[in-house]
Amino acid sequence: MSDKRKKKLILGPILLLCFLVVLQFAYYGMIFFDLRTTLSKDFDLVITYSDTASMEPALDLAHSHHKPLYVSQAPPEKLPFSNHPRNDLKEVIVDNTAWTTDQNARRATEFIRKGGYKRVVLDVAWFHLPRALFLTRLYLLGSGAEITPCSKTPLPDHWWNYWLFHREIFKFWGSLGRVALASIGIETGPKGP
């Protein structure tokens, strides 16, 4: 094999990877450019996935609009809102069967489809939002449901310098791998309810 051909074989994948990373940064920037921590438009349901941020803002958002809240988290995680009276939690559905963001999205979209919800707010931490939103929208393709992003935490200045953001860049690709595995019936983690 000639040196020229070897260079092409090496350079092609590197250029493709660079292009994909640029697209990913553009997608993240697009989400962060219009990021909101409150919403004024009407919706039918609030969903949130476990991350390092408190779930209280999602509950507050659901309560302020008198809408149900769907919480997806991992089995060993402590149940959220333990300091709230039962009356505050009448319209809170906690699903603790998801170990990954991919599973969070699949469980939530099953709930959204079964409930016939059409206007849904996804309320997760700023760094988690692009990946969670991408996966949720992917699994809802063709459903007619509209997912509006909302951040439980404000976007920090110079967000591109944060370790949480850097970690999410890599986790995004792992989630796409899980999507591919799920599409052929291979579940990473426990089965759903």
pLDDT in tens, 71-83: 999 888 888 888 8
Kindly state the DSSP code that residue 193 receives in the 8-state scheme. -
Q: How remote is the C-alpha of 175 from its chain's centroid?
A: 10
pLDDT in tens, 89-112: 989 999 999 999 999 999 999 999
Domains of the chain plus CATH, in order, are 35-183 (3.40.50.620)
Residue 193 has pLDDT above 50, yes or no: no
Among 40, 151, 181, 175, which residue's Cα sits nearest to residue 100?
175
Q: Which residue type occupies 31?
A: I
**Helix (H), strand (E) counts: the chain:** 5, 5
| Higher-scoring residue by pLDDT: 16, 193 | 16
Specify the pLDDT at position 146: 94
Specify the pLDDT at position 109: 96
